[in-house]
Structure 1
């Protein structure tokens, strides 16, 4: 699988996970209707399905690499949905984690 396809899978998984978790957050912390849980659960199911498509022979490695993408997507959510711009510390941490995720995902490995 190509790197752009892999990143697309991870980006879709991140959006689905954040959306599902936000639905629960809205219900528990913001007083939204319990009906928010229905799309939230569906979104989390899509997240799990997409993450299972990640091109790795080992689930733990796929999940570890996904963590860096999740952090970037979470900061994007913070900025776009919650209208709170990430600060320099957020961006520095994201860059460090993104580099780590790229190493885990794209490092050459013995067959």
Structure 2
């Protein structure tokens, strides 16, 4: 469930933020804001479905997924092909996500 929740959250967050971008930067109708707000609410709800003990860890791990989704949006929705630095950065972020999600937890702190 966690991968689907993260993927859905990323799509909902990007769509919600894009709605505001379209209104304020692309001179679209203010009516774009209503679905944007709904999408951002969906994003927040989807993150609550992630099976994690702490919200902060859930949000931190989500960051890498969001970055990869944003690079995909750049390419698929905006037509700008990611360069190697985009792809390397996204891979590093996903590695960080994996460390946060799957790192051993033995009760030790830093």
Q: Under TM normalisation by the shorter chain, which class is it?
A: over 0.9
Structure 1 partner of 2:69? 73
TM-score (norm 2): 0.94
- 5+ residue gaps, structure 1: none
TM-score (norm 1): 0.93
Q: What is the DSSP-based 3-state SS (H/G/I as helix, E as strand, rest coil) of the residue aligned with 2:14? A: helix
Structure 2 partner of 1:26? 22
Deviation of the 1:16 alpha carbon: 0.1
Distance 2:76 2:15 in 1: 13
- 5+ residue gaps, structure 2: none
Residue 36 (str. 1) matches residue 32 (str. 2): yes
Superposition map of 1:76-87 within 5 A? 76-87=72-83
Large movers: runs of 4+ above 4 Å: none
Residue 92 (str. 1) matches residue 83 (str. 2): no
Structure 2 partner of 1:52? 48
- RMSD between aligned residues: 0.9
Q: How many residues align?
A: 107
